[in-house]
Amino acid sequence: MVKSPPQAIDLEEAVLGALMIDKKVFSSIIDIITPEIFYKNENREIFKVIQKLFNYSKPIDLYTVSNQLKKEGKINFIGGDYYLIKLTQKVISSAHIKYHANIIRQKFILRRLIEISYFIRKNSYKETTDVFDILNYAESQLFNISNNNFKRNYENAKDLIDRAISNIKKLQLNNGLSGIPSGFQTIDNITGGWQKSDLIIIAARPGMGKTSFALSMTRNLVIKYNIPTMIFSLEMSSIQLITRLISSETEISSEKFRKSILSDFEWNKIFIKIKKLKNSPLFIDDTPSLSVFDLRAKCRRMVSQHKIGIIIIDYLQLMTVSNKSINREQEISLISRNLKSIAKELNLPIIAISQLSRAVEIRGGYKRPLLSDLRESGAIEQDADIVSFIYRPDYYGFHYWDNDESTPCKGEAEFIIAKNRNGGLYNLKLNFISNYVKFTEKC
């Protein structure tokens, strides 16, 4: 016996009838109902017309809906005026429309779950199926359902303009900061904060302080702004990272932590200073050789469970892909493309630390990094929305900035924004305190 899919046609009819007798209630269900959640095709077409009338600020009633359906040549498909009259006669009041709309949505979710399950079952029997493709499909679809992220194929101009105006107003209220703040004011002024769906690359040669910069920024994110932050550390263990953060927060030399030579005063300082860090929304995953597939799955879960606002990966070249038949350049290209895809899917910024090639060391002059120095693949530059470099001339034995004796460079670093898809390029100077492995703003 074949069972009918989950549905609530009587409630679909009640909702459509309520919308035609009381236009004002449409705004209360606009975030609950979309045309695709209607099981009955006729009801779907009627809702599309009601939605169109609402978007263009036209009256919504039995006559306007009928007239629009006639204009579009769909009146006979839905059953004529008789069916519309029948819908309006089914309801006396629109008081319970939101409750009814939620039930319709639940039935739609159940139908989607059945479809996903069928896809998994059917493809799992195929010998040629890649198991990781099935897992990725299943996880992405379930993530969309759990986050009510049912993707539409299009958005009309009115919706997009309303959203754009709303974003501009928010930007004005936040003093130009439209994204996630880094905590470094000059960087935030240039970027407007790290933007949702952006892939940001922070690259440097070993020893320049890439991880230290990421941790200094993390400290700002979780303590100053209370933004849930996820770090995937492929190089250092989670204990090493948190010890660095404690050193930075307490301003006790990291060497003292390594050798465990702390005085009673310093122990007291630690217990006082780390309270905020201890209660901060920081999550660290130190899985080595993390694959892009595993990263995507973990990110979805963390966003769903902990409302993660930003993801930091340290570092990109230590990630792997499941396809071992491709060369290293293709592998890095695949990784960077997937990172951008994850940022877009989860609608949050992803910051990926990256290594630079040895070309920097070989090159003469002041060894300031260039975009061409990105290691192993030009795809990183192509996929990233922002590419930035960290440069410390004193690491190479220079005593002054660009041979200018009036500007000593000891204890200073340059943060170089070399690519900015939605803004300008800029070089700015920061303080680097090596004892506490931290970066700070220059006064």
Enter the pTM of the model: 0.66
What integer pLDDT is reported at residue 1 of this predicted model?
Answer: 58
What integer pLDDT is reported at residue 236 of this predicted model?
Answer: 85
Query: Is 99 inside a domain boundary?
Result: yes
Helix (H), strand (E) at residue 84:
helix 80-89
Considering the domain architecture, whether residues 64 and 209 belong to the same structural domain is answered as no
What integer pLDDT is reported at residue 200 of this predicted model?
Answer: 92
pLDDT in tens, 104-143: 888 988 988 888 888 888 888 887 777 777 877 777 777 7
Domain CATH number, residue 111: 1.10.860.10
Helices (H), 126-278: 131-146, 157-173, 185-191, 210-219, 238-250, 254-259, 264-273, 275-278
Give me the number of domains the chain comprises.
2
d(CA 92, CA 27): 19
Range 414-425 average pLDDT: 87
Considering the domain architecture, whether residues 143 and 180 belong to the same structural domain is answered as no
Query: Is 307 inside a domain boundary?
Result: yes
Q: Which of 147, 168, 201 is the last residue of a domain?
A: 147
Considering the domain architecture, whether residues 111 and 187 belong to the same structural domain is answered as no
Q: Which residues are catalytic?
A: 235
Domain CATH number, residue 367: 3.40.50.300
Helices (H), 347-431: 359-362, 379-383
Domain range for 134 is: 9-147
Residue 36: closest CA among 148, 122, 119: 148
The whole-chain average pLDDT of the chain stands at: 83
pLDDT in tens, 21-32: 887 788 778 778
pLDDT in tens, 146-174: 665 554 445 667 777 777 777 666 655 56
207 has pLDDT over 70: yes
Query: Is 1 inside a domain boundary?
Result: no
Range 413-426 average pLDDT: 87
Per-residue burial over 380-398, b = 16 or more CB atoms within 10 Å of its CB, e = otherwise: bbebbbbbbbbbbbbbeeb
Range 392-414 average pLDDT: 84
Neighbours of 48 (CB within 10 A): 18
376 has pLDDT over 80: no
Helix (H), strand (E) at residue 387:
strand 386-391
What integer pLDDT is reported at residue 30 of this predicted model?
Answer: 77
231 has pLDDT over 70: yes
Considering the domain architecture, whether residues 184 and 283 belong to the same structural domain is answered as yes
311 has pLDDT over 90: yes
